[in-house]
Structure 1
Amino acid sequence: MNSNQTTSERIIAASLQLFCEQGYKGATTKAIAEKARVNEVTVFRHFGNKRAILNAAIDSLSYAPFLGKIIQEKMTFDLEKDLLLIAVNYHEYMDSIRDFVMIGFREAGKFPEIDEEVSKIPKILKQKLVTYFSVMKEQGKIIETDLEAQAMNFIWLNFGYFISRTRLGDQVISISREDFLKQGVLLFARGLTP
């Protein structure tokens, strides 16, 4: 644990580590408190319950601020370049939370609260992509299409690759991530370009 972390940050870091190691059910508030080097009452005082800790942990891993900054500051409104930038950064982000994503799969269906919290990540990405696609559509740079469907297609393209590589390594696809993203984005952008 970092000595510069606040008590809440230590609790969140401990919970993330325990969620990854022991799953949601196994990461009790008592174990979280011990790992964070605080009293269990302190955990409840800061968060109230384990669901609130999970929510705070998801928020701490949120891609939204990072993606928002990329879209706000780095978009060139060249569809292929922008989507490649988003995809590359998406994969870097997903790699950083790989263990947590895999918990979501391992515990899927057992704890609806996990599914609900984890679903926030693609929902935020979808919202940001729909907004970006709307601007591109207004500028006449993409075809008339269902923007939400296209945002989800782009997410699935990237998420599918991430899960395949995470779970199966190069057993399914042997090309590099860089090559896959370039080819996938090229085809996707061509399909949306008038």
Structure 2
Amino acid sequence: MSNSEIIPTRQRIINAAVELFAAQGVTETTTKAVAKSAQVNEVTLFRHFGNKHGLLLAVISESPVFQDLSEYLKNQATQTTSVYQALKNYCEDRLQALERSPDLVRSVVGEAGSYPLENRQALGRSLKEANHYVAEFLATVMEREQLHAHLPPQKLASLLNIMLLGYAVIEFTSEFHEFWHGKDEFLEDLVTLFLMGATNSTSLVTSSELVAVEKVIDLPFVTVQLILQRAKKSGLRDYALIYILFGAGLSTAEITNLKRNHQICDSNLHLLQIVKGNTRQVPVNQWIMGKRYGSYTNNPLTKYLKSRKDEHSALILNNDGVPVSEVDIQEYWQKLTEELSTPEGEQPAIEQAQHTWCVEMLMKGMNLEDMSLITGWDLSKLQPYSRRAKEKSALEQAIKLDNKS
């Protein structure tokens, strides 16, 4: 049985039109050529679509970009747990649909200025219908998350779709533009910008958090190594404590709440279970800034725990044999970093250990969504860390290129 007998006539005509529009452009494609490719006569094409304008409308409206959009968005609105994830899923899905037909996108958009009015109206109707569905979707998820928008859902939908289409056009029509390192970075930036700019950002991140993350100052390799070396000489407890700060990126408050049974380790992983605040599991890295500190089962933390003879449940104890406090941790850090200086000319602050860990994880390839799960931070709080990681990666790349010349 031939393909022409399996595929309905209408669909064969649309498939043929898609191929020809992509290959030679909408303007240069004739209905006669489409009918020939679809193995039908031209009269049959006219009976189904009226003319080439009607055929173009069918191609656009039944393309993967618009097809079943209403049902897809309804599912997204009810199945995802956060407005960020719902938006990112939608944006990613639409870009993937556009990527399936890059030649068609170039043809339809590139030639739109020369189309007759009826053709442009066909394109406009499809975009308007898509905006309507997206507006309903945005209204649903924003109401559920109790976000207050500065603009009505219809305008938000239009802005979002225009940015997606603009990105696709740039990607399909230019090379080496270097606006983004890839689609994932664009999507993260787009959704974060959209949420913070279009909605009441206090629902997503507090003003104090915004102020705090403006100053992301990670520590250089030499300083980190010196602190770890001093901690090792100071004793097993201090070494374990500094190892957690640089290897797991925990805050002092999180460390004080850790118990022995919050540790999970075997030959394949080493995790710490955070049970207060943002409950989650955090990996304890074997590698810190390119240097390995033992293994998952034999490292500064496991050695410290094995050395203890007490039965106390706390993971870290202070000099008096009771659970370490935030004040204790600050005092130990101050002693271990005395006379050390950051590039800014100041003694390293304990918060910089967490900054350093976060930047390093992003440089290793961790995306912002996964980092949000591990840190418990909002994506907007992670943005400055992402920028700092990109800055360091760019510097490393520049140095590598210079060494090759």
The normalised TM-score by structure 1 is: 0.86
> Which range moved further: 33-42 or 44-53?
44-53
1:46 corresponds to which residue? 48
* Worse overlay, 85-94 or 126-135: 126-135
**Per the alignment, in what secondary structure is the counterpart of residue 150 of structure 2?**
coil
Compute the displacement of 1:134 (Å). Answer: 2.1
1:186 aligns with 2:186: no
Matches within 5 A, 1:142-181: 142-147=147-152, 148-181=154-187
Partner of 1:133: 138
1:2 aligns with 2:8: no
Partners in 1 of 2:176 and 2:159 — Cα distance? 23
Please give the per-residue CA displacement for 1:40-86, whole angstroms capped at 9, x wherever unaligned.
Answer: 22222333322222222223215344332332223325211110000
Task: Give the counterpart letter for 1:36 in structure 2.
Answer: A
| Alpha-carbon distance in 2 for matches of 1:175, 1:42 | 47
Query: CA offset at residue 161 of structure 1?
Result: 1.7
Checking the alignment, whether the CA contact within 8 Å between 1:63 and 1:121 is kept in structure 2 is: no
Q: What SS does structure 2 have at the residue aligned with 1:26?
A: coil
Residue number in structure 2 paired with 1:100: 104
**Is the counterpart of residue 61 in structure 1 residue 63 in structure 2?**
yes
The structure with more strand, counted as a fraction of residues: 2
Distance in 1 separating the partners of 2:68 and 2:49? 25
> 2:36 matched to 1:18?
no
Q: Distance in 2 between matches of 1:42 and 1:56?
A: 15
Kindly indicate whether the alpha-carbon contact (under 8 Å) linking 2:83 and 2:142 is maintained by their aligned counterparts in 1.
no
Question: What's the offset of the Cα at 1:122?
Answer: 2.8
Give the letter aligned to residue 187 of structure 2: L
Separation in 1 of the partners of 2:25 and 2:125? 19
* C-alpha contact (below 8 Å) 1:104/1:114 kept by paired residues: no
The one-letter code of the counterpart of 2:71 is K
The structure whose Rg is larger is 2
Q: Which residue of 2 aligns with 1:116?
A: 121
Deviation, structure 1 residue 137: 4.4
Q: Give the secondary structure class of the aligned counterpart of 1:109.
A: helix
Kindly tell me the number of residue pairs found equivalent between the two proteins.
Answer: 194
Q: Within 2, Cα distance between the matches of 1:137 and 1:154? A: 15
Unaligned stretches of 5+ residues in structure 1: none
Query: Larger relative contact order (C-alpha < 8 A, sep ≥ 6)?
Result: 1
Cα separation, 2, equivalents of 1:51 and 1:117:
7
The range that moved more, 78-87 or 105-114, is 105-114
Cα distance between partner residues in 2 of 1:98 and 1:115: 19
Name the structure where helix makes up a greater proportion of residues. Answer: 1
Q: In structure 2, what is the Cα distance between the partners aligned to 1:31 and 1:64?
A: 25
CA distance 1:160–1:81, shift in 2 (3 Å): same
Q: Is the 8 A contact 1:77 1:136 kept in 2?
A: no
Summarize deviations over 1:77-136 as a string: whole Å, max 9, x none.
Answer: 521111000010010011123222211233222222332222234323321221122224
- Describe the shift of the 1:99–1:142 C-alpha distance in structure 2 as closer, same or farther (beyond 3 A): same
